[in-house]
Amino acid sequence: MVVRGPISFLGDVDPRTGELRDGTGRSVAGRILVFESGRGSTVGSYVIYALAENGVAPKAMIVLRAEPIIVTGCVLAGIPLVDRVPKQILETTRDGDLIEVDAYRGEVIVHQG
Amino acid sequence: MYLTREEERILDGEEGEAESLALRVLVKVGEALGAERLVPVVHAHASGISYSNIGEPGLRFIEHLARMGGKVRVYATVNPIGMDSEYWPSMGVDSGFAEKQLRVLRALRDMGFELALTCTPYYLRRPKLGEHLAWGESSAVAYANTVYGARTNREGGPLALMAALVGRTYLAGMHLDENRRPTLLVDASWAGVGSATEAGLLGGLLGELVGEGVPYIVGVPRWREGWVKELCAAAGALGSLAMCLIEGVSPEAPKFRAELSGLERVQVEPRDLESVKEKLSGGGEPDLLYLGCPHASLEELRELARLLEGRGRVRREFWVGVSRTVFLEALREGLVEKLRSHGIKVWKDTCPVVAPLRGAGFRTVGTNSVKTAFYMPRMHGIGALVMGLEEMVEYAFRE
């Protein structure tokens, strides 16, 4: 699932369902979430943790820039996180594409279509 | 990451189970962000303690740390909660919620946190130039870096909590000189910033424009404290700004004056601020007016009292949010009574962003806070209108 801008997990994501509050009705639950970066509230880490506790967390996150809020949330929730990927990923990847992630090696493979 | 012998001991659990967990998380987060060692902090401020925002998982997490015997090692304060800790029944908060919220507070108190319950920890202890802090609460982070030249990252809520337990955080980001240099020159000479609301709109614009850089702001001849507060809050909400350098305000600004000509330059026009305002404003006439995001200072309460001089009772819900410290001062000054006599509700410990307002029946909040306007639709499905304080007062008396 691709979100082309930054995400404030507090506010932009429903911690109980994983639904994005962007009017599309999409949910991050069980998806590999590709987005620009975090923004907004420092409470976002708790929202990421709550997503995991509620069983609706993304499988992995891929961001252009990691920042403390997202990193803390992913560490506590045990969600693999890869940062510093090329910017084009936001343009070329579509919802539903198959993505392979190896967060230990920082590898991301996108299978388009 | 390099750890001192004491830190090794903490990691090995010799200082307690909670401290060991805290250090493990700090090291992991720090390594991901490129830190090579930890740094002692003098003040930790934990955000994310409103039950409305952290829910059952957050409550369990905080209680778990308390049960493991976690104790703060440095001065440590916490953010607002989802209700006024004293007057919550008259807020319409139900007792089930209150019970959960009070459990969060008990766990924090047991760990030694001072229950400041405010997003303005700088009114309690003024940070000093160059001090290292571990603060959550995006608005306070930006304020500490910008106004005091203290050093803190935008720590996630749980990380600030763990930093309090070990008295340290990872040395990266805003703790390092190289990340506190200006990256963009913002000329606001023609933006016409003349109120807290307009400063907030400028902050919102910068949040969206700058990403993670440090804007150097020139061209506003006179800054008032409340303006900088709104700017920082908006920049931290709409973006991820941790710091601005403001000419005439920031202690670190003068040393970069000679380098400004080499920076990319942005000129802000009134229409740029107007477009931020339009984007955030949606909904009909406000049925709730709110002052106090971030929590209002004594000066802001006095200003509101002045605007109400000679007028009767407000015709719409009008809330003001303050810290309990400011509440007590305002009480002594007779300000609380004065505002209440006009029908205004003064809440402490909480604010509309962290209170359970969904379903409270409000349709549109009118506020001078860009941050509040950003979160209202997202958090509570409530519309927002950004307006100046004078305009809020006018609305309050409208039929």
Q: How many CB atoms lie within 10 A of CB B106?
A: 14
Average model confidence (pLDDT) for chain A?
A: 95
Residues of B in contact with A65 (CB under 8 A): 211-212
Mean pLDDT for all residues in chain B: 96
Task: Write the Ramachandran bin of A82: left for phi over 0, alpha for psi from -120 to 50, otherwise beta.
Answer: beta
Domain range for A90 is: 2-111
Reply yes or no on whether the pLDDT at A102 is more than 90. yes
Q: Does the global pTM surpass 0.90?
A: yes
Q: Which residues of A touch B141 (CB under 8 A)?
A: 42
Topology alike, domains B5-176 and B281-396: yes
Number of domains in chain A: 1
Distances (CA, A) of B128 to B112, B133, B176, B355, B390: 23, 10, 16, 31, 34
The domain defined by B281-396 carries CATH number 3.40.718.10: no
Tens digits of per-residue pLDDT, B119-143?
A: 999 999 999 999 999 999 999 999 9
Q: With 90 as the cut, is the pLDDT of residue B211 above it?
A: no
Contact indicator for B106, B98 with CB cutoff of 8 Å: no
- Indicate the range of B224-238, B299-313, B345-359 predicted with least confidence: B345-359
How confident is the model over B134-186, as pLDDT tens digits? Answer: 999 999 999 999 999 999 999 999 999 999 999 999 999 999 999 999 999 99
CATH architecture group of domain B5-176: 2-Layer Sandwich (3.30)
Across the A/B interface, how many CB contacts are shorter than 8 Å? 125
Look at residue B301 in the predicted model and tell me its pLDDT: 97
Q: Is A41 designated active site?
A: yes
pLDDT at B233 over 80: yes
Taking 80 as the threshold, does the pLDDT of residue A113 lie above it? no
Residue type, B314: V
Strand partners, B43: B75, B133
Q: Where are the domains of chain B?
A: 5-176, 181-278, 281-396
Are B54 and B48 in contact by the 8 Å Cβ rule? The answer is: yes
- What is the structure's pLDDT at B318? 97
Asked if residue B330 has pLDDT above 80, the reply is: yes
pLDDT at site A8: 95
B239/A39 CB distance under 8 A: yes
Distances (CA, A) of B156 to B128, B162, B279, B295: 22, 10, 27, 20
Token pair for residue B137?
A: 């609460």
- How many Å apart are CA B370 and CA B309, to the nearest integer? 26
B149 Ramachandran zone, left/alpha/beta (phi>0; psi -120 to 50):
left
The pLDDT tens digits for A13-23 are: 999 999 999 88
CA distance A50 to chain B (A): 5
Which stretches of chain A are assigned E, i.e. beta strand? 2-3, 32-35, 60-63, 81-82, 98-102, 107-111
pLDDT tens-digit map of A53-98: 999 999 999 999 999 999 999 999 999 999 999 999 999 999 999 9
Q: What is the CATH number of the domain that holds A80?
A: 3.50.30.10
pLDDT in tens, B91-119: 889 999 999 999 999 999 999 999 999 99
Identity of the residue numbered B149: G
Residues of B whose CB is below 8 A from A68: 29, 33, 153-156, 159, 173
Strand, helix or coil for residue B200: helix
* Nearest CB to A42 within list B58, B138, B207: B138
Can you tell me the mean pLDDT for B233-260? 97
Rounded to whole angstroms, the Cα distance separating B268 from B228 reads 17
By DSSP bridging, strand B265-267 and strand B184-187 are: parallel
